[in-house]
Structure 1
């Protein structure tokens, strides 16, 4: 093994790297035909002189020579795995046109068939990868016959549509960042997180923000912004219906600040309920390098177990999670933990665990699309901008409502799904409601813990019951801290602004202010539902 390989393995904390040294050969640009005549290219990493072996398939839209993809292939190859890395349709030498998410099922199944027929493959195929590379696994796993030997699923989900439109609102920041990355994949300079892309988030209409960001039309952005109201367009890209029937052993890694957390937990729950062999790790990271380090270690151990017969790592609990602010890793047999109790936290004059017995005035504020309420932190793709942040400047604005609870006399642990059930009225009938739960320290600093968004379309003045799915969490509020809820009409540019007129998200330009009232009190007991863990 090369010195570089040894250093990489040591940095990643991977055991047994020295003993697993293997002489690896690489066959470049294998040509894999698709049924429609397109040819996709792949590289094969293979121990020299070996006979037929199982293969680990990795399908990527970022290019098989990309650093992170090569890192994964190298880590696996140094442990005696045979690895096939394929560029998906339309990417760096693969034929056809890249159509994000839409071609991965057909192309992936055709690739499975081709690999199984090669003399160097013994017929067994596993998959590995993170993010989009995880989605390409879900695009084939429910339909593969015979099934995949194992799946390594990092920071991903069986469907991405819910992450495009959380709560019905367009996830502008993440959509524009990723579409700018894909729209410049052949350029030397990549504007992934540069100032021009950030400024383009203010462009109207948002369906043309690609022109401001990268100077050209980008198909993925046009599709997401143009089909926010068209569920049928995305139906073939959603593989969640086949998750429970998938028999392949699956290992998952996600983070409390990952944008695909909710979807991945749904996938885990479906597999676990169906009695499948599945495990999940939830760490204190987002869609970032910390997560990828955990993904690599997890997938090495999982593939070792299912392709090399090393079952030592299979003895751990199905759920392993990090309890934030407690600095503890916890193991459970299921998600959410059985000791978790959904507990309402009501909106009163502040926040109260007791259901209000008297009427109260609404928590009211006015949202102005021309000066949209900003966002701070959360599950973002941009490094250094997501996660937990100080919310003080936003909470001081006049277009938000802030409610704070009493100081805690003991630690409060939340582990599980979080939701809100509010009674809401708007003067236009068209508005977004953003709700954020924060942790207020003894020094008064307010940091976000979890949040959720819901797009509301109703008659003007109509009271609607707003059910808001928030980000799941594993978090300790320490004794002496306070819980705080912030209510707003937006979180820009994480979500595209709501223009208050009910126009399609991708084309809206004209705007009007919206008065939003969240009703509370005895007649309208609006509340968050928190997963209180008390072992």
Structure 2
């Protein structure tokens, strides 16, 4: 062990740190571990653990952050990361390895037998993986902006993200992080454009990148649906039912992994016991992926300016949570009820006991027969469908940049698409607060076996300004059975439900309309689906089909209102 000093809060502090610890696993692999606590602390201490695939120089600072509040800060690194043995196979070993790591930590003389976990993104997923089999020493988790494998990454809606290869190179090229490769945006933009404009198969993306076949990339594309490969990484319904520890979940309206975070929250509330649900809290506000896990908060996420009232000190909230769960202190004062959600525009936090009790109404609007017609509150007569046609061979929209570079917000570039239908509700006659996920109930038929569909929703105010609310994308062949492709029969009518759009809470002003776009999910960030009845990862431009999607009169959207 080593002693070192640090100047924090204008006060000199000294810490005990040991970065040479090793955790032996049953299969012979050894995980590297770092321990840090304040010099002079009365051992043993409760432990705050981060199971981490992103080794960084800032890990010491993060460990100091919890050590200053009377904990032992512990980092355990995934196989193949830092000094850990083995190879890093993302999301495959976390559940079993973290159980063994917690068992080892709980038996150390500096641990008092109480362990909590926190962290965001992959580290959020790692906590949900860990509670598949809860170790008695694990007393709480704080999953922040948690990735949901098979749910929001790497294949939301059954559509692979081109970003997945970029991320794999970042975390698997060496034992630390390959920043040079990952942050070379010109490289990745050029690669994705070449794949799309040449009409190449998605399976060739790794070879096209230049460093040869990537075994994990190739493994992942064998599983486009949320099948057993992904499902076994996180709790089953039976495992959700056995969770019996307090949980604080956090995410943001503009978080790229909000879909994963909300999936876990909803699954626990579907399968968990009433006693366990009383201690599962959700914190959601106008934050991006970094801000939703206590990182730097952006006061502007274009076109939104975030009010100061939203800027709760999330780092302090996490410390207060650990004081509550690991030290028997009071519940954090901010958590007045089990859901804390910030309403933009109204600029106020609201608190609710459950999702079921947070809203007062649901507004439904039915799709018209023609784009120039207005959506209506009542289903129109007749059977004439709204028709959307496009040519999958047309690359005009494929290389559009439709996302904010730093969040999940889509930009007005969406409206420059060639292949697009735009629909609108009538203007609202009073203010209302949208709270939750806009969903779509669609009765559809298709002239092709498959297509990737993207919907987006916007508030267009009385002055014509567009405010992005949410979007969702879905592969039609994975819309009925989410686990395995089922190709659509020509002209047969199917009913699908799209409810995975982002949770948004925003005041919608009187005179505003909700505008909805329908387009192919074809852009620089997504795998291209040409529509054939074959594995999309093997399709090329030669498989491109003319599409005709029909939306029948029963089709409508649902807008949840606080």
Which residue of 350, 366, 369 maps to 1:330? Answer: 350
Secondary structure in 2 matching 1:172: coil
TM-score, with normalisation over the residues of structure 2?
0.83
Contact 1:367/1:373 (CA < 8 Å) preserved in 2? no
Partner of 1:58: 50
Does residue 480 (structure 1) correspond to residue 511 (structure 2)? The answer is: yes
Residues 91-130 of structure 1: pairs in structure 2 closer than 5 A: 91-130=81-120
User: Matches of 1:451 and 1:483 in 2, distance apart?
Assistant: 13
Q: Does 1:527 align with 2:551?
A: no
Q: 1:230 to 1:345 in 2, by over 3 A?
A: closer
Structure-1 residue corresponding to 2:340: 320
Summarize deviations over 1:169-210 as a string: whole Å, max 9, x none. 323144234223224455462423611112222323222323
Confirm or deny: 8 A CA contact 2:469 2:504 kept in the other structure.
Answer: yes
By how many angstroms is 1:84 displaced? 1.1
1:48-107 per-residue CA deviation (whole Å, 9 max, x = no partner) reads 2432112112111111x342x444322111111101101111112100111110111121
Deviation at 1:342, TM superposition (A): 3.0
Of the candidates 121, 139, 148, which is equivalent to residue 131 of structure 1? 121
1:247-299 Cα distance to aligned partner (Å, 9 max, x none): 11111110112233233224334445623211111011121246433653332
The partner residue of 1:386 within 391, 407, 410 is: 407
SS at match of 2:62: helix
- Structure-1 separation of matches of 2:421 and 2:544: 20
Aligned pair count reads 510
Q: Deviations over 1:4-52 (max 9, x none)?
A: 5338xxxxxxxxxx7xx86321111201101111111111012224321
Moved more, 508-517 or 280-289: 508-517
CA contact (8 A) 1:55 1:125 kept: yes
Question: When the two structures are superposed, what TM-score results if normalisation uses the length of structure 1?
Answer: 0.87
CA distance in 1, matches of 2:496, 2:506: 25
- What is the distance in 2 between the residues matched to 1:462 and 1:177? 39
Structure 1 residue 329, shift from structure 2 partner: 1.6
Q: Is 2:544 the counterpart of 1:512?
A: yes
Question: Residue 420 of structure 1 is aligned with which of 434, 440, 445?
Answer: 440
Corresponding position: 1:197 with 2:164: no
Matched, 1:460 2:494: no
Q: Note the C-alpha offset of 1:319.
A: 0.7
Distance 1:339 1:283, change over 3 A: closer
> What residue is the counterpart of 2:247 in the other structure?
250
Q: Hey, what's the Cα distance between the residues in 1 that align with 2:537 and 2:57?
A: 32
Cα contact 2:288–2:406 (8 A) shared by 1: no
Match 2:327 to one of 285, 304, 308: 308
Q: Are 2:458 and 1:438 aligned? A: yes
How far does residue 443 in structure 1 lie from its aligned partner after superposition? Answer: 4.0
1:136-175 superposed matches below 5 A: 136-156=126-146, 159-164=148-153, 168-175=157-164
Root-mean-square deviation (Å): 2.7
Distance 2:210 2:227 in 1: 28
How do residues 268-283 of structure 1 correspond to structure 2 at under 5 angstroms?
Answer: 268-272=265-269, 274=273, 275-276=275-276, 277-283=279-285
CA deviation string 1:343-375 (max 9, x = no partner) = 321112222223223554523221424416456
Match of 2:258 in 1: 261
Secondary structure (helix, strand or coil) at the match of 2:108 reads coil
d(CA) in 2 for partners of 1:246, 1:219:
34
Q: How far 1:453 moved relative to its partner?
A: 1.8
Aligned twin of 1:181: 170
Quick check: 290-299 or 236-245, which moved more?
290-299
Residue number among 384, 403, 409 corresponding to 2:429 in the alignment: 409
* Residues 426 and 238 (structure 1), Cα distance of their counterparts in 2 relative to 1, 3 Å cut: same
Do the aligned partners of residues 36 and 102 (structure 1) sit closer, same or farther apart at CA in structure 2, a change above 3 Å counting?
Answer: same
**Given that residues 120 and 293 in structure 2 are in contact (C-alpha distance below 8 angstroms), is that contact kept between their aligned partners in structure 1?**
no
Over residues 217-250 of structure 1, what are the superposed CA-to-partner deviations in whole Å (9 max), with x where a residue is unaligned? Answer: 4343222223215823223213253223211111
CA contact (8 A) 1:38 1:95 kept: yes
Distance 1:389 1:504, change over 3 A: closer
Kindly indicate whether the alpha-carbon contact (under 8 Å) linking 1:166 and 1:453 is maintained by their aligned counterparts in 2.
no
Give the direction of change, closer, same or farther, for the CA distance of 1:165–1:57 in structure 2 (3 Å limit). Answer: closer
1:165 positional shift:
6.0
- Alpha-carbon separation, structure 2, partners of 1:501 and 1:317: 49
Q: Is the 8 Å Cα contact of residues 359 and 435 (structure 2) preserved in structure 1? A: no
> 2:319 and 2:204 mapped to 1: Cα distance?
42
CA distance in 2 between counterparts of 1:389 and 1:171 reads 18
Query: Which of 37, 44, 51 does residue 35 from structure 2 map onto?
Result: 44
Counterpart-to-counterpart distance in 2, 1:183 and 1:212? 18
94-103 vs 326-335, which moves further:
326-335
In structure 1, the gaps of 5 or more residues are 8-17
Change (3 A) 1:373 1:468: farther
What is the DSSP-based 3-state SS (H/G/I as helix, E as strand, rest coil) of the residue aligned with 1:201? helix
Deviates more, 1:124-133 or 1:281-290: 281-290
Q: SS at 2:417's partner residue?
A: coil
Distance across 2 between alignment mates of 1:107 and 1:431: 39
* Secondary structure of the corresponding residue to residue 286 of structure 2: strand
Does structure 1 retain, via aligned residues, the 8 Å contact 2:397–2:419? yes
- Specify the SS of the correspondent of 2:9: helix
Distance 1:491 1:71 in 2: 41
Task: Answer yes or no: is the 8 Å Cα contact 1:489–1:516 preserved in 2.
Answer: no
Is there any run of 5+ residues in structure 2 with no aligned partner, and where? 296-312, 477-486
Looking at structure 1, the residues matched to 142 and 225 of structure 2 have their Cα atoms a distance apart, in angstroms, of 33
